[in-house]
Structure 1
Amino acid sequence: MSDAWEVSTETLTDAPGGNAGLRAFLHGLPGVDQVGAEERAARLATRSIKTTAKAEAIDLAISMVDLTTLEGADTPGKVRALCAKAMHPDPADPSVPKVAAVCVYSDMVAVAVGALGASGIGVASVATAFPSGRAPLEAKLADTRAAVAAGATEIDMVIDRGAFLSGDYLKVYEEIVETKRACGGAHLKVILETGELVTYDNVRRASWLAMRAGADFIKTSTGKVSPAATPPVTLIMLEAVRDFRAETGRQVGVKPAGGIRTTKDAIKNLVLVNETAGPDWLTPAWFRLGASSLLNDLLMQRQKLTTGVYAGPDYFTLD
């Protein structure tokens, strides 16, 4: 690394230069080769996975799922049913691994905590004015504290994209810092909403900003904006966490979310992880798949490998 990079890194860690210091660092990051990123992501997507490896990949993908319901019509009954599925994705096959976490709105956290009991499955809650990110900081922090007090082990916060795109990096940085503080012992996933960031360079900048502010995970999307978790965007974020660990020694996770619906999509993401960040990230501790409909397709493909026939789509519960 150059001396200039080292100075900029120190500036961002302590943020003594305010917004100007953040801007100098973020705009000093190497630019993203758009064509190169898209070609590499497309090339990795063509990797073929053989039967034994595919079976292992499917189980790994299941164990990485954040099973999600984020609808205005969510009810306690729906959340309890989702938790039952999280613990036993296929009740007829106890060998199917449980998922990593259940993700709900903050007012449903207590319901999820009660339903999951001692299963070891995490309870994630979206906070900070999800999905827009547009609310006073006091309201965002109150939502975060309420979710943690109710038992959330993970908080998925969304950044203020308007502030980021207008160049108010300090506001975004400070909101992440304060939200991380409000999390207490809960992990913080920072949602970048990459579909609104316009450029790959902005995706890289937002990733580094979030990591420097204390994010435990960086997450692509809310699932409410299109495009969401595209392979090139996930690739860029994986490069960012890889380089961040090399620079600082601290490992940060990645969570693509939105638009990941099929087993092929999930396996493509696992290949991206292995070939970009490396096998250290091939664990639910460092890589998650945010999804609602993905799990059923993984279960169908798993049953096909096990029995030789597909189950009908109505064999598994709808999420």
Structure 2
Amino acid sequence: MTCHYARRYARLVTMSLKADAPKAPTPPTPPEDSPSALADVTASDASLRRFLHGLPGVDAVGLEARAASLGTRSIKTTAKAYALDLAISMIDLTTLEGADTPGKVRALCAKGRNPDPTDRSTPPVAAICVYSDLVATAREALAGSGVAVASVATAFPAGRAARSVKLADTAEAVAAGADEVDMVIDRGAFLAGRYLSVFEEIVAVREACGDAHLKVILENGELATYDNIRRASWLAMLAGADFIKTSTGKVGVNATPANTLLMLQAVRDFRAATGRQIGVKPAGGIRTAKDAVKFLVLVNETAGPDWLSPTWFRFGASSLLNDLLMQRQKLGTGRYSGPDYVTVD
């Protein structure tokens, strides 16, 4: 299936791929000064529309059946211990509320860098995600920990603001010390078919990020169809996203096994076509260790083990960490801890 999609995309952009070539674990990214095989795709609104609407249509029934099937895989004790620690290390521990305070962010940072004070073998989380005005607080609290600071930007969560405001929001977050920026796409523009406008905005935000990594939030719950999710995934990757992210966590439908599976297929096929690896971040609604393990199975069986790392896969979550810690403690002692074992976020 991977080779089929890769060849389909290759024909659309006049690339030449050898279907029988050996697959390297992590194909090298082409040099920045080399001609881009995808450059013509984004040259105009018409060419971008042609490319996006030429992507293979999504078999919704097949996609959901595949996601459900992978969700039934059982994980044994040794593998489960590994999976729990891996999931903890992939969490973007998040607080994005109007009532957030510096004290709340400092407490979250302390939890993120040392999730279980009774067990120092517990890995830290990948990042703490906050609003841009609290980035400096998080940066100070996480100094020397190796835990990244992520900030939402571009008028999160609706994205309804002038581009100049979005770029200023991004620049403020980066200036305050954000290592990663989570932007939202203009869903109104996308659904109206103004693909080039969405593309150009992502490119502009990517430039404003400087050295910070850019996660592009598609807000799958508002894109309405699986075909739109596939198109938005490719659009974001073509524009320079380092990660594609399912959702803000602020709408009715957020990360699901099916829409995350679709995005994993997209990053897999994008790497096959371009040599560039992109990360995936499901966010919103993933609350239990059991759910997290199911998503890790999706990653391994769809994109492959190259993505089983915090560098390439993240969970956007607030309450997930607590259940992972409870399950980790039970695996080690054979019993659940009392209600005071984990903090209430």
Name the TM-score, length of structure 1 as normaliser: 0.98
SS in 2 for 1:131: coil
Q: Within the alignment, does 1:100 sit opposite 2:107 as a pair?
A: no
Aligned to 2:212: 186
SS in 2 for 1:236: helix
Aligned to 1:5: 12
Query: 2: distance between equivalents of 1:47 and 1:11?
Result: 38
Q: Within the alignment, does 1:161 sit opposite 2:168 as a pair?
A: no
1:88-134 Cα offsets, whole Å, 9 max, x none, are 10111101000000000000000000000011111000000000011
Does the 8 Å CA contact 1:68/1:291 hold for their aligned counterparts?
A: yes
SS in 2 for 1:189: strand
SS in 1 for 2:54: coil
Displacement after TM superposition at 1:4 (Å):
3.9
1:121-178 Cα offsets, whole Å, 9 max, x none, are 1100000000001100000000101100110000000001000000000111001000
Q: Within the alignment, does 1:148 sit opposite 2:205 as a pair?
A: no
Name the TM-score, length of structure 2 as normaliser: 0.90
Does the 8 Å CA contact 1:12/1:22 hold for their aligned counterparts?
A: no
Q: Within the alignment, does 1:43 sit opposite 2:73 as a pair?
A: no
Query: 2: distance between equivalents of 1:186 and 1:120?
Result: 15
Q: Within the alignment, does 1:83 sit opposite 2:83 as a pair?
A: no
Aligned partner of 1:148: which letter? V
Query: 2: distance between equivalents of 1:74 and 1:292?
Result: 13
Does the 8 Å CA contact 1:13/1:213 hold for their aligned counterparts?
A: no
Q: Within the alignment, does 1:28 sit opposite 2:54 as a pair?
A: yes
Does the 8 Å CA contact 2:13/2:40 hold for their aligned counterparts?
A: no
Does the 8 Å CA contact 1:68/1:102 hold for their aligned counterparts?
A: yes
- The percentage of counterpart residues that share the same residue type is 73
Displacement after TM superposition at 1:17 (Å):
4.0
Query: 1: distance between equivalents of 2:15 and 2:305?
Result: 29
Query: 2: distance between equivalents of 1:234 and 1:298?
Result: 20
Cα RMSD of the aligned pairs, angstroms, is 1.4
Query: 1: distance between equivalents of 2:238 and 2:218?
Result: 14
Query: 1: distance between equivalents of 2:139 and 2:333?
Result: 34
Query: 1: distance between equivalents of 2:139 and 2:40?
Result: 36
1:224-267 Cα offsets, whole Å, 9 max, x none, are 01210000000000000000000000000000000000001100
Aligned to 2:307: 281
Query: 1: distance between equivalents of 2:171 and 2:113?
Result: 26
Query: 2: distance between equivalents of 1:254 and 1:157?
Result: 14
Displacement after TM superposition at 1:290 (Å):
0.4
Query: 1: distance between equivalents of 2:114 and 2:339?
Result: 17
Aligned to 1:251: 277
Displacement after TM superposition at 1:16 (Å):
5.5
Q: Within the alignment, does 1:120 sit opposite 2:146 as a pair?
A: yes
Aligned partner of 1:6: which letter? V
Unaligned runs of 5+ in 1: none
SS in 2 for 1:246: helix
Query: 1: distance between equivalents of 2:173 and 2:123?
Result: 26
Query: 2: distance between equivalents of 1:313 and 1:278?
Result: 37
Query: 2: distance between equivalents of 1:36 and 1:266?
Result: 22
Aligned partner of 2:269: which letter? D
Aligned partner of 2:116: which letter? D
**Aligned ranges for residues 229-240 of structure 1 at < 5 Å?**
229-240=255-266
Does the 8 Å CA contact 1:155/1:187 hold for their aligned counterparts?
A: yes
Aligned to 2:201: 175
Structure-2 change in CA distance of 1:11 and 1:246 (3 Å): closer
Aligned to 1:63: 89
Displacement after TM superposition at 1:8 (Å):
9.1
Displacement after TM superposition at 1:19 (Å):
1.3
Displacement after TM superposition at 1:13 (Å):
3.0
Query: 2: distance between equivalents of 1:154 and 1:268?
Result: 26
Displacement after TM superposition at 1:20 (Å):
1.1
Of 203, 211, 215, which residue of structure 1 is paired with 2:241?
215
Does the 8 Å CA contact 1:253/1:287 hold for their aligned counterparts?
A: yes
Query: 2: distance between equivalents of 1:313 and 1:245?
Result: 44
Q: 174-183 vs 1-10, which deviates more?
A: 1-10
1:273-294 Cα offsets, whole Å, 9 max, x none, are 0000000000000000000000
The number of aligned residues is 319
Displacement after TM superposition at 1:311 (Å):
1.2
Unaligned runs of 5+ in 2: 1-6, 17-35
Does the 8 Å CA contact 1:11/1:17 hold for their aligned counterparts?
A: no
Query: 2: distance between equivalents of 1:284 and 1:192?
Result: 20
